[in-house]
Amino acid sequence: MTSREKHDRMANAIRFLSMDAVEKANSGHPGLPMGAADIATVLFTKYLTFDPANPHWPDRDRFILSAGHGSMLLYSLLYLTGYEDITIDEIKNFRQLGSKTAGHPEYGHAAGIETTTGPLGQGLANSVGFALAERILNASFGDDLVDHWTYVLAGDGCLMEGISQEAIALAGHLKLGKLVVFWDNNNISIDGPVSLSDSTDQLERFEASGWHTIACDGHDPEAIAQAIEAARNDPRPSLIACKTTIGFGAPNKAGTNKVHGSPLGKEEIEATRKALGWTAAPFEVPSDILDAWRLAGLRSVKKRKEWETRLAASEADKRAEFERRMRGDLPGGFEPAMAAYKQKLAADKPKVATRKSSEMALEILNGAVPETIGGSADLTGSNNTKTSQTKPVTPTDYSGRYVYYGIREHGMAAAMNGMALHGGLIPYSGTFLVFSDYARPAMRLASLMHQRVVFVMTHDSIGLGEDGPTHQPVEQVAALRAIPNHLVFRPADAMETAECWEIALNSRTAPSTIALTRQNLPAVRKEYSEENLSARGAYELAQASDDAVVTIFATGSEVEIALAARDKLQAHGHPTRVVSVPCFELFEQQSKDYQAAIIGNSKVNIAIEAGIRQGWDRFIGRDGVFIGMHGFGASGPYEKLYEHFGITADAAAAAAEKLLHPTK
């Protein structure tokens, strides 16, 4: 039992590390760490199962600081409990270039940071993925190997963001009972009292989504502990509404928005030291308190060792499989299965939509890779993401491999991030490409966090036809290409689709978006290639009959058009080559020589893509011809739309002829 006095001093250690670090950085958010210190102290000293010396232990509990601006809470905890990445010097270097203690928690900077947070609501939505991954893996590997909790600290901002509703509705529906969310209910947002903008009864709201809710005094360690016990004893996901005072302890500023996002200032820090009876100098933690914290960091060593013993005692295949999946290695059967499939494609040359090609590829890879978890935002039949292996994950049976995410693109993407971060699973899921806009903040975080998640985005152009401009992506491919470290694929046929899936599964440090058509496409790749040509980003698909005077670059459904234009031009005596460009990002990773060779030196350069021009000047130069969209689409049968918007082989050939014979 920790005495109240000891608890208070342990919590105060967090408070002073946080306020002193923010003060030194002259930047940051002291209010949350000060307000939530008691919650964190109870959680980390009594409940959270973790081992700072083995921070990646797979069966650890996860702690997600969804309110990422309170990063000093997390850094303080990591330092105090003995994670070696976060030294006192790192704390002193808070928010400095090159430090591990960035302004917001950055996944990968230090062990113990389970996810990158800061954009509000994301951590909460990630946690649904973490908790779901735990249940799914538990269904495969049993309680012996997978049996842990996901705890989240969320603020008012997290709960106001719409993504929170998607997350809590999904968690409630899936009955993720091992998910416990602390709401730091401090009534303060940046602009002032929460009552400026919100009157929601959060408990009622969570209950409406099937959650167990409890309210408690967030500064009473006993009450917090009781709430956690209650949460752990309830089969539903739990919300613990902790009434807290933001900036707890600061005599003049606590409870106001003044402590939210600014340093307290010397004077107020002095006053806080007095008020809380803290005599230690900045960045010094009294040795008995540091000892107590370090002891808390050793609490789960026994559990971890027992777990290791259980793992060691597991049946050899099961153990090997568990370890493989946790390492993130693909199974040995993946490559041969894909090679065989591609050989079959080369023989069959199917004329199908690439969304169908994707389903065909998924049928193979889901058979070979048991850790893929599919899904869709209520467009299963349109996204073609469900295969014979993927029975649904349900609230009563987590052994499935398919998640009906509902019409929740944003929550879906964030949950996928959580699953990938948890480890042991490779999530993929689908929606229409245009609705990548809804999921974009989470897709960006997948890139920033270097996670292997695969976004299947079908209906990837005006080629979707009648649904019209609200559903026709024209700028989404460009906008996604803009995200750093994000592989955006637009395959041209079944072969390229298979290749893109191969790359996506092998891409361990970047997420992928695969843009796929609704409409059927012919096979443009006629032969089997041992090399994955799509991995080059761009490659010459069709050579010119002689030194090329025209080069046509195209992606996806427009490669067919490029090839037809080439036929016309060559028939008119203009040697023309076609370059397929399935992935800009990978092309940029090729050697300068390769890039130069692909771009070539044709007199006329044309790009064809049923999207906007942005980004294409890299290939065709400022003076190149772009055949694509110049504004929003329209509602109508897709063949008519292609004609209407002038995305045709005739238009491309005519544009080339005009440049080749300017006097004509």
Would the annotation count 29 as a binding residue? yes
Q: Rule CB under 8 A: choose which of 2, 49, 87, 96 binds a copy of itself.
A: 96
**Catalytic-residue membership of 639:** no
Distance in Å, CB of 378 to a copy of itself, minimum: 5
Asked if 460 touches a copy of itself (CB under 8 A), the answer is no
Q: Both tokens of residue 517?
A: 């058509």
Asked if 281 touches a copy of itself (CB under 8 A), the answer is no
Q: Which stretch binds a copy of itself (CB under 8 A): 30-38, 82-90, 178-186, 481-489?
A: 481-489
Asked if 632 touches a copy of itself (CB under 8 A), the answer is yes
Asked if 591 touches a copy of itself (CB under 8 A), the answer is no
Nearer to a copy of itself, 347 or 596 (CB): 596
Would the annotation count 156 as a binding residue? yes
9/271 Cα distance (integer angstroms): 16
Asked if 116 touches a copy of itself (CB under 8 A), the answer is yes
Residue 660 φ/ψ region, left for φ over 0, alpha for ψ in the -120 to 50 degree band, beta for the rest: alpha
Would the annotation count 201 as a binding residue? no
Rg (CA), the chain: 28
Q: Rule CB under 8 A: choose which of 68, 177, 221, 556 binds a copy of itself.
A: 68
Q: Rule CB under 8 A: choose which of 209, 252, 256, 520 binds a copy of itself.
A: 209
Asked if 378 touches a copy of itself (CB under 8 A), the answer is yes
Distance in Å, CB of 192 to a copy of itself, minimum: 8
19/260 Cα distance (integer angstroms): 11
Residues 484-503 that bind a copy of itself (CB under 8 A): 484-485
Catalytic residue from among 166, 321, 409, 558: 409
Asked if 299 touches a copy of itself (CB under 8 A), the answer is no
Asked if 31 touches a copy of itself (CB under 8 A), the answer is no
Neighbours of 61 (CB within 10 A): 22
Asked if 411 touches a copy of itself (CB under 8 A), the answer is yes
- Tell me the residue ranges of DSSP E strands in 212-258: 212-217, 238-243
Distance in Å, CB of 268 to a copy of itself, minimum: 18
Residue 396, class by beta-carbon neighbours within 10 Å (0-12 exposed, 13-18 middle, 19+ buried)?
Answer: exposed
Asked if 444 touches a copy of itself (CB under 8 A), the answer is yes
608 membership: H or E segment, kind and range: strand 604-609
569/164 Cα distance (integer angstroms): 54
Distance in Å, CB of 224 to a copy of itself, minimum: 24
Distance in Å, CB of 481 to a copy of itself, minimum: 7
Q: Do residues 71 and 64 make contact, with C-beta atoms less than 8 angstroms apart?
A: no
CA distances 300 to 1, 55, 151, 213, 236, Å, are 16, 11, 16, 27, 25
64/148 Cα distance (integer angstroms): 14
HEC secondary structure over 309-353: HHHHHCCHHHHHHHHHHHHCCCCCCHHHHHHHHHHHHHHHCCCEE
Asked if 382 touches a copy of itself (CB under 8 A), the answer is yes
Would the annotation count 484 as a binding residue? no
Q: Which stretch binds a copy of itself (CB under 8 A): 246-254, 268-276, 294-302, 375-383?
A: 375-383
Residues 147-206 that bind a copy of itself (CB under 8 A): 156-157, 160-166, 169-170, 172-173, 189-191, 196-205
Asked if 376 touches a copy of itself (CB under 8 A), the answer is yes
Q: What single string gives the DSSP state of each residue in 450-479?
A: T---EEEEES-SGGG-TT-TTT--SSHHHH
Long-range contacts, 258-261 (Cβ 8 Å, 24+)? 259/30, 259/31, 259/34, 260/29, 260/31, 260/32, 260/188, 260/189, 260/190, 261/28, 261/29, 261/31, 261/69, 261/190
- Which residues make up each annotated binding site? 29, 69, 118-120, 156-157, 186, 188, 260, 355, 382, 435, 459, 467, 471, 518
Catalytic residues: 409
- Which residues make up each annotated binding site for substrate? 29, 260, 355, 382, 459, 467, 471, 518
- Which residues make up each annotated binding site for Mg(2+)? 156, 186, 188
